[in-house]
Amino acid sequence: MPERPILVIGGGPAGLEAARSIADLGYKAVLVEKRDRLGGMPDEAGYAQLTDFRDAGEAMAEMAGAVEACDEVDIRLSSTVTGSIGSVGNFDVELTNGGKPETLQVGAVIVATGFQHFDPGRETQQYGYYEHDDVITLVDLEKMLKAHNVVRPSNGEPPERLCFIQCVGSRDRQIGNEYCSKVCCGVASKEAIEVRQQLPNCKTFIFYIDMRMYGYWENEIYWPAQEKHKVNYIKGIATEIVKKGDRLLVRGEDTTMGRPMEVPMDIVVLSVGMEPSAGTREMARIFGLTQNKYNFIETTGGALSTVTTNVAGIFACGATTGPADLEDSISSAGAAAMKAMATIRKHKDTAA
Amino acid sequence: MPERPILVIGGGPAGLEAARSIADLGYKAVLVEKRDRLGGMPDEAGYAQLTDFRDAGEAMAEMAGAVEACDEVDIRLSSTVTGSIGSVGNFDVELTNGGKPETLQVGAVIVATGFQHFDPGRETQQYGYYEHDDVITLVDLEKMLKAHNVVRPSNGEPPERLCFIQCVGSRDRQIGNEYCSKVCCGVASKEAIEVRQQLPNCKTFIFYIDMRMYGYWENEIYWPAQEKHKVNYIKGIATEIVKKGDRLLVRGEDTTMGRPMEVPMDIVVLSVGMEPSAGTREMARIFGLTQNKYNFIETTGGALSTVTTNVAGIFACGATTGPADLEDSISSAGAAAMKAMATIRKHKDTAA
């Protein structure tokens, strides 16, 4: 019996890294992606630059190209996983491609279905995302930055004052997302730098609770944002956005100065957090994976086990298991590939 | 010619995970550790609990035991790497064990030599680490927590008031460590919880700039620390510690209240950051690895390449490349193992 391949679900950074890693060691992988192209969220959401300031489209094309060049990887686009039976070493996984069903026989599974951005219209009505044209999200701004066309949606004119509001959909008990989404401080700061580069006359502000610029983001993004690019960081809480004449008025409290604030803005960017994607929730259901209270897939074994799920032979990586930056996704994808191959190898030895 | 093994340098969490991963796929590894036992910094520094609140000694013993049980891993304790010649696929690495030299022929190398804690007596004299007995570090407190004996070094009595000062040796341009050490907010909060558990009458404070409780640390450590364990978080900057009678006086500024503060403490814990270990700096020199300005080993390729160095066949993981939490170390070690095996495999194919 030939060795069964490893199923990788999701064609974003984590899934691409996992699939290529498997191929690099001569194992076979099937990479399933629901969209008709690879590249995942950075491609789908039209990110301008990654947090290392590399062009996101170019980086994702390079990752996708490397996987496409692997004979060992069978890529299935426009396909979704709809069911699974069996256990470690012998999973029969049902797939559909535009209604055309198929059963794949795989030895192990890596779930890399990632996250979705929090919908700021859903529960934080005080920010008026659906009400005010010039209230946008980090993702909306990425698209504008990519197109080199940062303008006020209400009138098509470049903004003179733009601000970010951090922790929208994160660190928020009222909406049930108590966790920190980890990347928004870094992403907002990166976008603020890009705004300042594209529109040097646009005053740019970030309202935050804590700036979580951990590790090298501190020296590579946060300090240059302040010193070189003159981004203004204000520790404060925005409670309301109202329309005032042609502009938006952000109301809240400057917690450092200990006083109320009312600042006019042309564009307000909501730094929306991470939630498990529909695919992540669906794969948890299909494979019987334990989810945490936020519906991300739970890894077992604490800090020393980052990709193992409750089901033997099924591994999870990237933002499938919780808020993750790109480095997290790449490293955990490599680790998941390694563990999935070890599982296949062990099962073959046992079965032999 | 038999396949050359992979050399893993460092027997801490990252090195142990890398060595076991290599064995799991049937490749051979040589694990070199300078101490006479495995377990790395959590063992050497006597950590009480990991950030997932698991007993650190037990967790490290389990990791070490798993590697010791691998036939494929040749463990060399009390050994250090002293030189290397050759290139990818064919490194001849010199080793010494108590003056006894040996040459190992290896195909690839994983550097997992990690970090050392910042020495707070070195440059931040205002905190009086060498001057005041009751000024200690995160590491000193770990040992006390592990021994269930948290007492004032000056008089052996349990403290009634204990505080942590964050960012000692991190985010500090004057001493040249501009980066954030990433884990100190989480570690200090974990230790604060343990203090409150062991000494319920000890009032516990954390003075911070930003609380970088990213991802799940927010809901798993930070919220419980405040709500369940009544740890007091104060956004403030401590500028000086002086002796006042039997106690210490912490002087600085409460930046939220916008006023100077002077608070008496029985123990002051300096939350010291991460610097590259002597081993990391030495391995960089021996293998010709590019270091960043902080002397950590630099990875190439930005966010999408987390373990690759400038030298083909040499990989770095864990805190060898910069501030890293345990999850980072475990994931990047798996990824490094995978890439090192791929290198060996590719080289064998090329040479065949």
Beta carbons of A322 and B216 less than 8 Å apart? yes
Beta carbons of B25 and A335 less than 8 Å apart? no
What SS3 string covers chain A? CCCCCEEEECCCHHHHHHHHHHHHCCCCEEEECCCCCCCHHHHHCCCCECCCCCEHHHHHHHHHHHHHCCCCEEEECCEEEEEEEEECCEEEEEEEECCEEEEEEECEEEECCCEEECCHHHHCHHHCCCCCCCEEEHHHHHHHHHCCCCCCCCCCCCCCEEEEEEEECCCECCCCECCCCCCHHHHHHHHHHHHHHHCCCCEEEEEECCCCCCCCHHHHHHHHHHHCCCCEEEEEEEEEEEEECCEEEEEEEECCCCEEEEEEECEEEEEECEEECHHHHHHHHHHCCCECCCCCECCCCHHHCCCECCCCCEEECHHHCCCCCHHHHHHHHHHHHHHHHHHHHHHHHHHC
- Token pair recorded at residue B145: 């927590």
Distance from CA of A190 to the nearest CA of B (A): 14
Chain A residues touching residue B171 (CB < 8 angstroms): 218
Task: Kindly state the percentage of chain B with pLDDT values over 70.
Answer: 98
* Interval A71-85: pLDDT, tens: 999 999 999 999 999
10-residue block means of pLDDT along chain B (352 residues)? 88 98 97 98 97 96 98 98 97 94 97 96 80 96 98 98 96 92 98 98 96 97 97 93 95 86 96 97 98 97 93 98 98 98 88 62
Beta carbons of B24 and A338 less than 8 Å apart? yes
Chain A residues touching residue B218 (CB < 8 angstroms): 171, 178-180
* Interval A72-130: pLDDT, tens: 999 999 999 999 999 999 999 999 998 899 999 999 999 999 999 999 887 766 799 99
Instruction: Find, in chain A, the residue whose alpha carbon is nearest to that of B171.
Output: A218
Mean pLDDT of A202-230: 97
Beta carbons of B178 and A219 less than 8 Å apart? yes
- Gap between the Cα atoms of A76 and B61, Å rounded: 43
Count of pairs with CB atoms under 8 A, one residue in A, one in B:
187
Q: Please name the residues between 192 and 251 in chain B that touch chain A, using a CB distance below 8 Å.
A: 210-219, 223
**CA B305 to chain CA mean position, Å:** 21
Give the residue among B45, B36, B48, B28 at the shortest CA–CA distance from B11. Answer: B36
Q: Is A161 exposed, middle or buried (0-12, 13-18, 19+ CB in 10 A)?
A: middle
Q: B217 to each of A121, A236, B189, B335, how far by Cα in Å?
A: 26, 22, 9, 23
Query: Is-contact B337 B316, C-beta < 8 A?
Result: no
pLDDT of residue A124: 66
- Gap between the Cα atoms of A12 and A74, Å rounded: 15
Beta carbons of B335 and A338 less than 8 Å apart? yes
Q: Is B330 on the interface with A (CB under 8 A)?
A: yes
Beta carbons of A213 and B180 less than 8 Å apart? yes
Instruction: Find, in chain B, the residue whose alpha carbon is nearest to that of A316.
Output: B331
State whether ipTM is beyond 0.90: yes
The pTM (predicted TM-score) of the whole model is: 0.96
Chain A residues touching residue B322 (CB < 8 angstroms): 215-216
Does A2 have pLDDT greater than 70?
no
Mean pLDDT of chain A: 95
Beta carbons of B216 and A305 less than 8 Å apart? no
Q: Is A52 on the interface with B (CB under 8 A)?
A: yes
- Token pair recorded at residue B351: 């040479």
Beta carbons of B211 and A216 less than 8 Å apart? no
* Interval A170-191: pLDDT, tens: 999 888 999 999 999 999 999 9
pLDDT of residue A258: 80
